[in-house]
Amino acid sequence: DVSIRAGILKVMLRAGEAGGISYIFITHDLAYARHICHRGAIMYLGKIVEMSTMDNLVKNPLHPYTVALMAAVPVPDPRLEKARAIIGGEVPTPIDPPSGCRFHPRCSKFMNVCREEEPPLREVESGHYVACHAVR
């Protein structure tokens, strides 16, 4: 329910402002997360693929999965066009994930190294971490 959700958002924002409270907020709703969280982490099959401030994740996504997620967030203004990044292929099973980067079977920036080595989460800009061989 939207009204309950808005009430929860207000309580969380007040608690964070009043007492320096930190919390972990897990959601698929990135627009909602942007209003409630200062920093965020994007996960794919249980692995963090990108981590930064929410503003930076929305305005400057670097991992191909994050780019596709942000492109899928609806824009309420019909005058604004947004490029869609379609993720092809099937989602692998988390019980038996692919070798290397877990996103490589569906990735538009796939390279052979992606199949062989899991990319480390590296700081590519100040406070912006990405686990992708294609992002330097």
- Torsion angle, CA of 39/57/34/126, rounded to 10 degrees? 30
Q: Do 75 and 127 have their domain in common?
A: yes
What is the mean pLDDT for each group of 10 consecutive residues in the chain (136 residues)? 79 77 80 84 96 93 92 71 74 92 94 96 97 94
Q: Which residue has the tokens 């920036």?
A: 109
Q: Do 51 and 99 have their domain in common?
A: yes
Q: Write down the pLDDT at residue 26.
A: 83
Q: Do 6 and 71 have their domain in common?
A: no
Contact 106, 89 (CB under 8 A): yes
Alpha-carbon distance of 17 to 19, in angstroms, equals 6
Q: Do 84 and 100 have their domain in common?
A: yes
Q: Do 32 and 42 have their domain in common?
A: no
* pTM: predicted TM-score of the whole model, two decimal places: 0.84
Q: Do 8 and 68 have their domain in common?
A: no
Sequential DSSP letters for 50-87: EEEEHHHHHHS--SHHHHHHHHHSPPS-TT--------
Q: Do 10 and 60 have their domain in common?
A: no
Q: Which residue has the tokens 């199949």?
A: 115
Q: Do 32 and 79 have their domain in common?
A: no
Q: Write down the pLDDT at residue 18.
A: 77
Residue 131's domain comprises 38-136
Token digits of residue 3: 């009204």
Q: Write down the pLDDT at residue 65.
A: 94
Q: Do 20 and 54 have their domain in common?
A: no
- Closest to 105 in 3D by CA, of 62, 44, 43: 44
Q: Do 132 and 65 have their domain in common?
A: yes
